[in-house]
């Protein structure tokens, strides 16, 4: 009965992936996942709130993908995709941090 969700464009996927990478770089993957999981039922309201605050945000920060993000965040499948990307990048970062040291005690690839 429900319509098929529109697939993400490559630009949408790249934006969500950049957000996921940045959350992991800042070691904010757990707060990001909690916030996204908690806000999932309010995704439409969150997207509209972002639209409302756009003039203020654009005046303070240079964020060229702001409109694309505010439209994406209204889609529940985008939140799910972002959650999966954060978890994947967090797993990669965790594996890299806990990889056994290479010869001479240097991390692999840094010898």
66-91 per-position pLDDT tens digit: 888 888 888 889 999 999 999 999 99
Helix (H, G, I), strand (E, B) or coil at 19: helix
Domain spans of the chain, in order of start: 10-96
**Which of 29-42 are b and which e, b meaning 16 or more Cβ less than 10 Å from the residue's Cβ?**
beebbeebeeeeee
pLDDT > 70: percent of the chain: 86
What pLDDT band is residue 21 in, cutting at 50, 70 and 90?
very high
Is pLDDT of 2 > 80?
A: no
Better-scored residue on pLDDT, 105 or 27: 27
| Residue given tokens 């098929």 in the structure block | 4
Mean pLDDT throughout 8-36? 92
Is pLDDT of 45 > 90?
A: no
* pLDDT for 100: 78
Q: Which long-range contacts (CB under 8 A, 24 or more apart) does 45-52 make?
A: 46/73, 46/74, 47/71, 47/72, 47/73, 47/74, 48/74
* pLDDT for 90: 95
Report the chain's mean pLDDT, rounded to a whole number.
84
pTM: 0.74
């Amino acid at each position: 009965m429900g319509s098929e969700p529109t697939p993400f464009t490559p630009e949408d996927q790249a934006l969500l992936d950049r957000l996921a990478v940045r959350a992991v770089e800042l070691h904010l993957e757990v707060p990001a996942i909690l916030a996204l999981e908690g806000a999932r039922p309010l995704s439409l309201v969150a997207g509209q709130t972002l639209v409302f605050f756009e003039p203020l945000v654009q005046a303070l920060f240079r964020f060229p993908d702001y409109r694309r993000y505010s439209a994406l965040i209204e889609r529940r499948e985008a939140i799910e995709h972002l959650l999966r990307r954060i978890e994947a990048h967090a797993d990669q970062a965790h594996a890299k941090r806990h990889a056994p040291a290479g010869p001479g005690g240097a991390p692999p690839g840094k010898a």
